[in-house]
Structure 1
Amino acid sequence: MRLHRLDITAFGPFAGTQRVDFDELSTAGLFLLHGPTGAGKTSVLDAVCYALYGAVPGARQSGQGVTLRSDHAAPETRTGIRLELTVAGRRLEVTRQPPWERPKKRGTGTTTDKAQTWLREYDTAAGAWKDLSRSHQEIGEEITQLLGMSREQFCQVVLLPQGDFARFLRADAEARGKLLGRLFDTHRFAEVEKRLAERRRATESGVRDGDAVLLADAHRMQQAAGDALPLPELAPGDPGLADAVLGWAAVARSTARERLTHAHCARTAAESLRAEAEGLLGGTRERARLQRIFAEARERAALLEERAGLRSEAQARLERSRKAERVAPALDLRETTEAEHRQAASDEARARTRLPGTFAQDGAAGLAAAARRVAEELGGLESARRAEQRLAGLAAERADLEREERADETVLQDAEEWLAGWEEVRADLQARIDAAQQDAGRAEQFAVQREPAQRRLRAARQRDELARDTEAAQARTLASRERALKSREHWLDLKERRLKGIAAELAAGLVDGEPCTVCGAVEHPAPAQKVAGHVDRDAEERALAAHRDADEQRAEDERRLGLVREALAAATAEAGDAPTSLLAEEWEELERVYDTARAGAARLHSTQEESRRNEHEWERRTADRQQAALRGAARISRRDALDREQALLEEELLRARGDAASVSARSGQLERRAALLADAADAARAAQDTAQRLKDADARLADAAFRAGFDTPRAAAEALLDDEAHRDLQRRLDAWQQEEAAVRAVLTDADTVAAAQQPPADLEAVERAAEAAVRRLQEAVSVQDAAARRCSELDRLSVRAGVAVRRLAPLREEYDRVAGLASLAAGTSADNERKMRLESYVLAARLEQVAAAATVRLQRMSSGRYTLVHSDDRSGRGRSGLGLHVVDAWTGRERDTATLSGGETFFASLALALGLADVVTDEAGGVRLDTLFIDEGFGSLDDQTLDEVLDVLDSLRERDRSVGVVSHVADLRRRVHAQLEVVKGRTGSVLRQRGAG
């Protein structure tokens, strides 16, 4: 990376635009950046860092553009940095402008512009610059990628800040580790340590969980095995836990199987005893059963002998009933026929009582003939009946015509009355519509005027309020300006008084034997003394802080005044010069007439709707009147036709009804007479038929009784039994027969007879013996089942424990491996001889590289006397491997770098900084750094050492590098010809550049 040109505007102490031509300064290879204290030497380096990374180095970095802006800059001048450089073979130009609070272009007050960034690249083929990006994020990523370094690494490697490496030499291992960790980005190795520790805790938790599961299975196996075999005292994580559990499980399974064998033998013996007892119990129960059956059979046989006479009587009664059953069909036929004849005779008598006396002696044939004659007469009245129905319909039609006529008269009267006032109603509606339309037009006009009038009134009220606020803001602004001016004068006065007495302030810090920070002398014969009223740094800084606070308050009051004035101007432009009261009156009058016109316009729609409804009503009334007239003419002709038809029908009915009141009445008389004659004829025929069938049934019954062996039909009827009595009698006979056969079978059975001849059986004693054998077998079966379940449960849990042990084995191996790696990385393992953490080990390697690179320059600066070496010794409870010692060739002894003197510390830290720059550069991918800045205390060196240091810096030109030395030592201005001087003044600092010539 080589810097070419730097433009600084309104940045830090620089009020205007200052330019640095690094190409001219780099011609000599070594150039000096000098100036009085506080002039802004470090601000030049801050500008380089801000151009590249958008932030300044170290503690000065704030990220807020307001703090970077020069207090001396004019309000209209914007802060900006432009840097032109070459990196990775590309010539780039970076321009950055932080956020800026500038005065408004219109009105008073300020406004804030956002931060802006440009990145351009020089196209050698086209010979012109081309834009690459204007995005802050994209430009930051591009610069970081090209340089290969973060902002913190850049500040340590390129800018070499004052005092950092001197502190690095005197720091302990912990502080060195923090700095090296930031520079070389070794947090990933710390993350590896953390990740290994987390993996160790996770795998340890997994092993403990697996051991807990295995112990839980062991306790379940102990419960299954009983208390005969105690479980060893074990805990999760104990060594050999898996082997102990598996060994104990094997012993428990063997013991359970022996118990199962004993239980099986006991069950076999109990089953033999139970079988013997059950056999004896079955034989005893069978003998007792046969003896009981034989005794019961003897009792039933005696009872059958006693009932022998009843059985003979029942058998005879059943035989007579079977004979009478052959006569039963004839008896049923005779009873049915007799009932039908009685019913037919009764029906005939009732039918004849309803007939006139002239038909009392007629037979069935005469009654049927009379019925036919009446039916013929009834058929002749059908035409007259239809004429009578039509006559009734004519009366209904005439009544309908009269109702229609009355309704049409009402319609005509209503239509005439409504149409008589139609013209007046239409004229009134049209007038109302015209008035509403006029109101709608006026409302639209007032609505257009309403919004501007309202805005003008609001603006007038705001104008009055802002006028009052403007007066107050002006008073506050004048007061704050006066305070800011006074505080600035006070600060400048104190600053000038302090500069006059700065010699006394510097002399206060002199110590005999230590070099002066200004001239480098170790003797101080006449140091300056403080006079009365001396101003120290604290007083000046308090005055400066008060001035800045007052100036910020002034800027804030001016910004607020500008905002109020701008708002007042906008409100005045909107409202004009008219008084607010007059505008309010105009607004109220406009609102009143607008509300009146809008209310009138609101009636337009309802009036139009009412007009349309009245138009439709006029059309309907006119149509109703015409239709009513047409219906009236049709009714006249219809009424005449109905009169003619009615006269013809009345003449026909007069002939047909005879002496009856109407044709319908005559038809009813004939229908009733025909029905009575037909019923009487049917009843007479039925009575004759049933009488003949009754005679036939009597003859068949007498013949059937004689054939069945009965003297009379009555005797056969008395011997006949109904179904229920017959079934009951048959059941009794069957039961007697079955009982006799069953008794005979029992009394003749050989087994029963043999059992009856034996002594009575003692069943209770045999049952007690059998129950005892069953209980013994149940106990043996229960013991065997429990032993079998114990063996099965132990086998299942043993298999489960074996699976758990096999699954836990790789987890234990992983834990052992991860725990070893974690303890090795953390420095707690016995294999880690120096007890170094992984991050410390990496940092120690980097420190060793830095020490080797720094030694090359340190030996030259010290004329071969000093050499930097890296130490792995552990210091107290600190880190191991981050020790840094210096070897003195004059004494041949190795000592800590904290024992170096002031001058020795300077060139040792300078050598360390240059060595660190080389190592970090290689770490960043070998990016070439052609421009370096060294901000160190050269005043602590004697002339010979200063020459040697400058020779080392001058030797950097061999690699085509340019080195800028930041110092205010006067001797350097004589030795280094290329210079960049920072000159401070009351209006800000300026830069003066001088080349090597």
Structure 2
Amino acid sequence: MKPLSLSMSAFGPFASSQTIDFTELGNNPLFLINGPTGAGKTTLLDGICFALYGKTTGNEREGSQMRCDMADDSVLTEVTFHFQLGSTGYRIRRVPEQERLKKSGDGSTVQKSEAQLYKIAPDGSETLIVASKVSDATAEIEALTGLDVEQFRQVMVLPQGKFRELLMADSKAREQIFSQLFQTHIYKRIEDTLKAKAADIRNLVKEQRARRDGILQTAALTSDDELTAELSRIEPEFAAATAAKEQSVAAHLAALKQRDSAQQLFAEFTRLQELQAEALSLNEQQAQIATQTTRLEVAKQALRVKPLLDNALSREQEASVAAAQRDSAQLTLDAAKLALSHAETAAQEIIPLEHKLREVEQQNSHLSALVPQLAEFASLEQALAQAKEILQHTKLQGQESKTALATLVEQRGHCENQLPALQSQSEQQLATAQALQQHRHMLEQFKQWQQICAKVAHTQGVLEQVGLQGKALNTQYQAASTAYKSLQLKWFQGQAAILARELKPHEPCPVCGSSAHPHPAVSHEDLPTDLQLQAAQDAEALALDNLNKARAEYRGLQKQLETQQHQANELATVLGDKVELSLESHSQTLERLMQQAKQADAAAQALQQLQQQIKTLQQQESTLAQQLELERERYREQEGKVERLSGQFAEKALRIPEEYRTLDVLNQAIAHNQQQLEQIKRQIDVLRTAQQQATEQSVAAQTALSAAIERCHATADLQAQAQQTLLTALDNAGFIDRDALREALLTDEQMQTLAEGIETYHRQCALNQSQLSQLTTKLSESTLPDLDALEALLTERLAQLKTAEEVWSQLNTRLTLLNNTQTQLAIVDQKAKSLEDEYAVVGTLADVANGNTGNKISLQRFVLSVLLDDVLLAATQRLHLMSKGRYRLLRKEDRAKGNKASGLELEVEDAYTSKVRPVATLSGGESFMAALSMALGLSDVVQAYAGGIKLDTLFIDEGFGSLDQDSLELAIRTLMDLQSAGRMIGVISHVSEMKEQIGTRIDILKTSHGSEIKVILP
């Protein structure tokens, strides 16, 4: 990543907008960020880190705390950073949460945090990637750079006081950083995949084992040996039970067959007895069947004569009907002649009725002519009545409006009398409201003053406790430092004795090279070991770290106390003598003012309502007066209309008779005449119709009588012929008369029943004789069997069979279960064996890849260790130069204690002592050189590997002050070499030599109105 420009507004110590154009510094510059303490040098790095990730480089302040106190309220705190990744440019703008002035109106509002990220094309066009959401912007930056904020701080920025973090990081922390830089996540995914696969196989093996135990438990077994033993025991028992069952089945079948044969023989003896009894019964029915046969023959003879009887009866009926019709026709003719005589007499009334019809028609025509005149008369009468009603209603409305107007005038006068008192009360509203607002503001300040005073007391107490703790920690540090220095002195003093113990006769000394050792050094004290020395050094470092933390906390509390006291003094100055009063007194005053304000508000509201009411009453008076004048005008117009309609009504009344002036009466008279007309017409029609019908009926009756006489003669002849034919047939069939014939007749059902009964009897007789003969012959040599004895034998055999089957079933069930268990166990064992074989490969790979074997180095950490070796090789080249050939950085290859991850820890080789020791043993200046070398070597190697993240920028915040003159010159030379190789290096330092040797500078000027930035070029 290469910075192009940085703009900050109201950020940190920069009150106004400040911009740095990094392109002005030249290509790949080495520049110094210079300025007095507190001017804002580190704030430049904070601005870059905040723009990218929303965090500062030291992670000690939030973005919302970076607001410049000297900035104008109208200036928004924001940072814009323009940078380049490869050939693509990006611009990010980030605004922290802050108080800002409202865009319209007075007061302030909360500005929510926001961020915008743009992608800049080579032609300068911009594409919006993130619109406002800060989390989306941070995630996008992490995706673009491949670094989160912690990793950015360690590889691209060496923050003030934190340069040892990259150097002292353990394997786990260094693995996270390097995996991002070198994009080695694929190896981590291989580790996770193998681990998950091995876990799946282990779970499957556990499932198979659990399933195996479940199979044994289902069979009530505990082991394979128990299964084998029970199979060996139960198989012979099952074979014996099978044989016993087969014998019982055969015995049962034999007994069953014998019983069934006996039952069949017994049934045949029973059937023989039934046939013999049936033969006796058939012999007894023989006489009855003969009688029925004779009766059937007589019925058949009578059936042949019956049609002649039916014909004779039909002819008799026809003759009787013809005679009755003749007599009826004679009576009808007599009645028709009488009716014709009466109709001719009544027809003489038709002429008078026709005269009366003409008179009623003339009268009805006169009445109908009065209908339209009466309609006009009724319309005038209705209009006159409505006009009189409207006239009366208009008169009443005028009286009501006059009364209402008087009432409104009275109400308005009453309201105007109340105005002076309410106006006097409402005039006090503004003064009361102002006094209430001022007292509320003062009371809020008073409460703040009390709260701050309480915080001051609390902070003073905490400060005192922290001071006591600091003194104790200082004592502990002095003791630990003294112990470490004493132990270190003994260690150095004992190195000669340790070397002397390792000398061998006639071998050269590694110090002087002599083969003779006349006076080897001897130590009379127990020498400290490296572990003891390291433990003492760690104890000293821990005590110093605790002391520094306590001092930092104490300074923070002092600053907090000063701020709180300053705030309390400012509020006390504003409040003046009001601080002497109690909160209760201020609250009572506030309550009194609130009550007065409430009364004044009520009076003002009542005054406003009363004024509105008076205005409304005045409007109502005006409206009602206008309405009253309109009603008077309408009354005069309506009065003239009533007089005009009264004259027209009187004129119409003279033309219509008084008895017909009502439309209902006139209509009733017309309807009555119409009814008379209809009635007369109906009477005439009835008389004429009756005369015509009587004539027609007389002629028809005469014709019907002649036809009836002819039919009577014809039916009498047919009756005589049928009677003679019937008598002849009766005599021939042997019947005395008609009654004898009727007695001999049977219905079809009766004849069919007799015939079927006779036929059934003869068929039963033949069948009985045949079956009786066959069965008698078959059973001639047999005897009746003993069924009870055979049933008892069958029951005994069945019980024996059930017992044998129960024994066999129990053994068969158990044997089947055992065989199935044996088969299932074989399947489970085979599958478990396959899984175990697979786990032997996958599990081993997973353990090796995840660092669970040997030296506890995972696959990714192994790959990273190779990369770290390259980084350390590049870093050692620079450290070797800056340390004048004393130090080399090495990767610790010993396995860490316990289960702690290892493989990426660092050690330093000291050429002065030929010892390898932890990097924590380096001094402050040495640690800075090592960290600087580490950062530069990391930058070289990351860019050398394909797919790595390009680290072409490095910022270093302080650290050079801990170097001596020679080391400083070597460090500056290293940075210049790095700059010549195409890197941008930014250095923050107070060291004057840095300012002399680095001509390109960014000076931070500290002023009373905020810091300003100035670029100095050589």
SS at match of 2:985: strand
SS at match of 1:156: helix
AA aligned opposite 1:46: D
CA distance in 1, matches of 2:217, 2:895: 50
Q: Any conservation in 1 of the 2:1005–2:1013 contact (CA below 8 Å)?
A: yes
- Give the aligned partner of residue 471 of structure 1: 438
CA distance in 1, matches of 2:817, 2:4: 87
Specify whether residues 839 and 593 from structure 1 end up closer, same or farther in structure 2 by C-alpha distance, changes over 3 A only.
Answer: farther
Q: How does 1:247-286 map to 2 (within 5 A)?
A: 269=250, 273=254, 277=258, 280-281=261-262, 284-285=265-266
- Give the aligned partner of residue 938 of structure 1: 960
- Give the aligned partner of residue 60 of structure 2: 60
Specify whether residues 817 and 397 from structure 1 end up closer, same or farther in structure 2 by C-alpha distance, changes over 3 A only.
Answer: farther
- Give the aligned partner of residue 609 of structure 1: none
AA aligned opposite 2:157: L
Q: Any conservation in 2 of the 1:148–1:925 contact (CA below 8 Å)?
A: no
Query: Is 1:588–2:610 an aligned residue pair?
Result: no
CA distance in 2, matches of 1:392, 1:770: 124
- Give the aligned partner of residue 12 of structure 2: 12
Q: What is the alpha-carbon root mean square deviation over aligned residues?
A: 6.9
Could you tell which deviates more after superposition, 539-548 or 152-161? 539-548
Specify whether residues 933 and 643 from structure 1 end up closer, same or farther in structure 2 by C-alpha distance, changes over 3 A only.
Answer: closer
CA distance in 2, matches of 1:255, 1:705: 101
Query: Is 1:163–2:161 an aligned residue pair?
Result: yes
Q: How does 1:509-908 map to 2 (within 5 A)?
A: 537-538=555-556, 540-546=558-564, 583-591=608-616, 695-696=720-721, 698-709=723-734, 712-713=736-737, 716-717=740-741, 720=744, 722-723=746-747, 737-738=762-763, 740-742=765-767, 744-745=769-770, 749=773, 751-755=774-778, 757-758=780-781, 760-762=783-785, 764=787, 768=791, 775=798, 819-828=843-852, 832-877=853-898, 878-908=900-930
Specify whether residues 218 and 8 from structure 1 end up closer, same or farther in structure 2 by C-alpha distance, changes over 3 A only.
Answer: closer
Cα distance per residue 1:406-463 (max 9 Å; x no partner): 98787555422112256677899999999xxxxxxxxxxxxxxxxxxxxxxxx99998
Shift in Å, 1:863:
1.7
Q: Any conservation in 1 of the 2:33–2:1002 contact (CA below 8 Å)?
A: yes
Q: Any conservation in 2 of the 1:374–1:670 contact (CA below 8 Å)?
A: no
Cα distance per residue 1:645-678 (max 9 Å; x no partner): 999998999xx79xxxxx85x8899899999999
TM-score by length of 2: 0.62
Q: Any conservation in 1 of the 2:70–2:1010 contact (CA below 8 Å)?
A: yes
CA distance in 1, matches of 2:450, 2:280: 146
Cα distance per residue 1:346-385 (max 9 Å; x no partner): x58xx9xxxxxxxxxxx89977875786687799799989
- Give the aligned partner of residue 563 of structure 1: none
Shift in Å, 1:944:
3.0
Q: Any conservation in 2 of the 1:263–1:780 contact (CA below 8 Å)?
A: no
Shift in Å, 1:869:
0.8
CA distance in 2, matches of 1:929, 1:732: 127
- Give the aligned partner of residue 592 of structure 2: none
CA distance in 2, matches of 1:815, 1:934: 51
Cα distance per residue 1:12-51 (max 9 Å; x no partner): 2234565667567679965444445434331232234345
Shift in Å, 1:860:
0.8
Specify whether residues 391 and 936 from structure 1 end up closer, same or farther in structure 2 by C-alpha distance, changes over 3 A only.
Answer: farther
Q: Any conservation in 2 of the 1:273–1:773 contact (CA below 8 Å)?
A: no
- Give the aligned partner of residue 277 of structure 2: 296
TM-score by length of 1: 0.63
Aligned length: 849
AA aligned opposite 1:537: R
Gaps of 5+ in 1: 223-229, 235-240, 352-362, 435-458, 488-506, 515-534, 558-577, 604-614, 616-620, 658-662
Specify whether residues 105 and 378 from structure 1 end up closer, same or farther in structure 2 by C-alpha distance, changes over 3 A only.
Answer: closer
Shift in Å, 1:541:
0.8
Query: Is 1:909–2:931 an aligned residue pair?
Result: yes
- Give the aligned partner of residue 470 of structure 2: none
Could you tell which deviates more after superposition, 418-427 or 795-804? 795-804
- Give the aligned partner of residue 585 of structure 2: none
CA distance in 1, matches of 2:304, 2:81: 146
CA distance in 2, matches of 1:404, 1:277: 122
Q: How does 1:957-972 map to 2 (within 5 A)?
A: 957-970=979-992, 972=994
Shift in Å, 1:299:
3.6
Could you tell which deviates more after superposition, 643-652 or 895-904? 643-652
CA distance in 2, matches of 1:316, 1:119: 130
Shift in Å, 1:969:
3.7
Specify whether residues 694 and 13 from structure 1 end up closer, same or farther in structure 2 by C-alpha distance, changes over 3 A only.
Answer: closer
SS at match of 1:73: coil
Specify whether residues 933 and 334 from structure 1 end up closer, same or farther in structure 2 by C-alpha distance, changes over 3 A only.
Answer: closer
Query: Is 1:948–2:970 an aligned residue pair?
Result: yes
CA distance in 2, matches of 1:389, 1:203: 128
Specify whether residues 897 and 813 from structure 1 end up closer, same or farther in structure 2 by C-alpha distance, changes over 3 A only.
Answer: same
Cα distance per residue 1:288-315 (max 9 Å; x no partner): 25643564366447646xx65x666666
Q: Any conservation in 1 of the 2:907–2:918 contact (CA below 8 Å)?
A: yes
SS at match of 2:63: coil
CA distance in 2, matches of 1:861, 1:403: 146
- Give the aligned partner of residue 575 of structure 1: none
CA distance in 2, matches of 1:339, 1:427: 95
Shift in Å, 1:896:
1.7
CA distance in 1, matches of 2:330, 2:834: 127
Shift in Å, 1:857:
0.8
Specify whether residues 547 and 754 from structure 1 end up closer, same or farther in structure 2 by C-alpha distance, changes over 3 A only.
Answer: same
Cα distance per residue 1:142-182 (max 9 Å; x no partner): 87677564444433233211333424545554555566567
CA distance in 1, matches of 2:664, 2:137: 100
SS at match of 1:758: coil
Q: How does 1:179-578 map to 2 (within 5 A)?
A: 193=191, 197-202=195-200, 204-205=202-203, 233=223, 269=250, 273=254, 277=258, 280-281=261-262, 284-285=265-266, 288=269, 291-292=272-273, 295-296=276-277, 299-300=280-281, 303=284, 328-329=306-307, 414-421=378-385, 467=434, 471-472=438-439, 475=442, 537-538=555-556, 540-546=558-564
CA distance in 2, matches of 1:546, 1:406: 115
Specify whether residues 652 and 598 from structure 1 end up closer, same or farther in structure 2 by C-alpha distance, changes over 3 A only.
Answer: closer
Specify whether residues 957 and 405 from structure 1 end up closer, same or farther in structure 2 by C-alpha distance, changes over 3 A only.
Answer: same
Gaps of 5+ in 2: 399-425, 455-473, 486-552, 576-602, 629-640, 642-647
Specify whether residues 150 and 334 from structure 1 end up closer, same or farther in structure 2 by C-alpha distance, changes over 3 A only.
Answer: closer
Cα distance per residue 1:580-629 (max 9 Å; x no partner): 776544433445567899999999xxxxxxxxxxx9xxxxx99x999x99
AA aligned opposite 1:158: M
SS at match of 1:164: coil
AA aligned opposite 1:761: L
SS at match of 1:60: coil
AA aligned opposite 1:59: N
